Structure 1
Amino acid sequence: MPLGKRDRVVTQGKRERTLKLKKLRVKRRNTLVFLVAMFFANMAFGMAFPYLSVYMRLLGASMFTVGLLSVVFNLTSTIFQYPFGWLSDTSRNRKGFIAFGLSSFGLFYATMALAATPSQVLILRTLQGVFGSALTPAHSALISELSTKTGSIFGLFNSVENAGYMLGNFLGSAIVGYVGVKKLFVISGGILFFSVGLSLFIRERPLGRRSLRGMILVQEGREGWRTTVKGSAFMTLLRRRDLGLFYLTVFLVMVASGQFYSVVSVYLSQTFGGWSVGVIFGIESLAAALTGYFIGKLIDRHGARRFYLIAIAGYIVAFLLYGIVRNIWLLFGVAFLSGLKWVMTINSTSAYVAEKVSVSERAQGMGLLNAMMSLGWVVGPLIGGYLSGISFQLNFISTTVPLGIAFIMALKLPQ
């Protein structure tokens, strides 16, 4: 007996509720799996990254060459992040690019243990920038797709990821003391491959075979509304006055960040001892882990622009204090402040892009954000390596120039 009109409506309503609950369960499961995978990945990053500069100095590199270590990585990352983001959008494959990027990081970190000269480490870091850049756009896009509350979801991931990074910082400091830097890179690579295995448990809805040109994408929140992507959104995003200005400020902030962080490991090692490198980085990560989620919720309530301005001011204060403070206990407090400004930066900039860019262009928008960050880290380490050869303090003070310009420009950004 055929169903009446009312029965069909009721049946359709039940089906829609069941489908929504199923999608919600999948999102929650993906969130948990992805959080655990990125916790271990960032633990590996926290172990290896702070000691790259120290490793270069042990191999006989000059301060300028130490700066080049960041330049080659971020230059290749700048070039390849946007294409990987575009491919992630066009294929709607987040998991594959995340796994590929993580495995690339693991492979090249482990291989660095075999390096005998600074030039070999530079080559490996260059290749790591090329293939590892597959991770970041897909990572940011997947996070933004897990919840409509962008500030909160980015805050949650930043808290968990910074907790992993913090643990890696402290573990790295201990491992270097027991077995040395080379074995540290091998261990870090192994943990990254473990995180790859975890990421493969992310469940993505199969979308069938899609063409890379003229692909149909479903817009978020509008079932049945579709848009055809006929080309790259790159120029469209840059030509938008608000986004173009925003990306420029991010570039300037990251120039200052590159000036400082490309050489600070060597500065800490020479001033306070090698043990301090992992500890200081660990305290920065601890601050980010403890506050990331709450800052994300505040960003949802009060707006990304306001917290971005506070973050830029935090960079100025933190970098100046790093150059002035000579007491290690006071420096722990400076490190905590520095961690706050970082998590505020990454939360606010990610939320700003997620709010301003449509879902069909989101990975490209995030890829462009990460490209600007990487590009800043191409220019900054060149300046930092040169100035630190003269004086670390001169380098730290000079970061106020790009940061000051970025702050004034950011005042003009719309809410």
Structure 2
Amino acid sequence: MHKAPSRFSRVRRIFPSTTRAESLRVTEILRKETVGGILLVAFAAAALLLANSPWADAYFALRDFEVGYEPWHLKLSLGAWAADGLLAIFFFMVGLELKREFVAGDLRKFSTAVVPIVAAIGGVAVPAVIYLAITAASPDAARGWAIPTATDIAFAVAVLAIIGSHLPSALRVFLLTLAVVDDLIAIGIIAVFYTESIDVLPLIAALIVIAVYGVIAQRYRQFFHLRPSAAWVILLPIGAVAWALIHASGIHATIAGVLLGFTIPVLHKRADRGPEVGPGLAEIFEHRFRPLSAGFAVPIFAFFSAGVAIGGADGFASAFTDPVVIGIVVALVIGKPVGITVATWVITRVRRIDLDPTLRWIDLIGVGLLAGIGFTVSLLVAELSFDAGSAQHDHAKVAILVASVLAALLASVLLGARNRHHGRIAAAEGATP
């Protein structure tokens, strides 16, 4: 006699089991980003100390020192070079990661992509609404609505790698996928809402150069018989020209990094496969540029961006009377985990998706807290939201630093406890004959 089908017979699990190759890739990313996250925190702390020390004038003079060539719109301060130039390397890596996820990762299938995508949307929408509600009485503050919508991949996965040795791999994959989608949304926000005017001719020229870059990247074996390891020698100067043209067009130059990353092939075409092929161009570029991004570009950006003169204990306390500060802290620390968890709960109920048996909702709340670490992208959006030197500009940075540290601490406490719980389960299963 056949049993009636259960109402859950069609339920799919959230975070399906990952392949060994995917797990190894995630572990490698976490290992590299741990070092980058530590450097990021160290350089930001150094900047904050210098900005509030007797050497503050020297620090700000260094940050504001201008170098470059004016006719090309490239006479910038060192701080601007870090935000517009070095951070483009970070966004190039984001573009590579996005391309990989859409072509060969968890985002290539709608059934597995829908949950982290909806979770990321919730993690963007809820903080933005909270921020706008708190700053409603201050119209000038509304421009900073996108500051608490971002997640810092390097910082978040560094915390997870340090405290999460026994956490299920599915949870790690979810955080990375969520952060990647979150960054994609942040990129769109920067391009749409923080571009005041566009110079069409440089933009058209930039798109042509990016197209050339893409053609060479896709057919690098046919062009000059290039090996993957040597292709960057030709592609790097072409990418630099594309970056300069995007910068001259008025669109934030970091967008060039994302567009260039999208053009890099992730999978070999069938005709190119063979024992002599070795790693593809995406793998070569990721291996070559990830240490540069995590170990140099992002920490230097943090060094020039996180330096804020707080003005002692009184200045720190007075900053928390600014709605901008309250809005950012509440939105990142509370809005992010609420938005991610509620959105995940809704989509799992609507599409009848069940949690992986190794996970509990408390684990997702911990990931939501980790996503409240805005830092790098939040600092970038703060730079774009408020005029440099204004009180709101400095207060926004103070709020980002406070919220990111608070979110990291809360996530460490919660996920640390969950890590010990999963560790005990693993030990018990290992002891079972």
Instruction: Point out the structure with the larger helix share.
Output: 1
Common fold: TM-score over 0.5: no
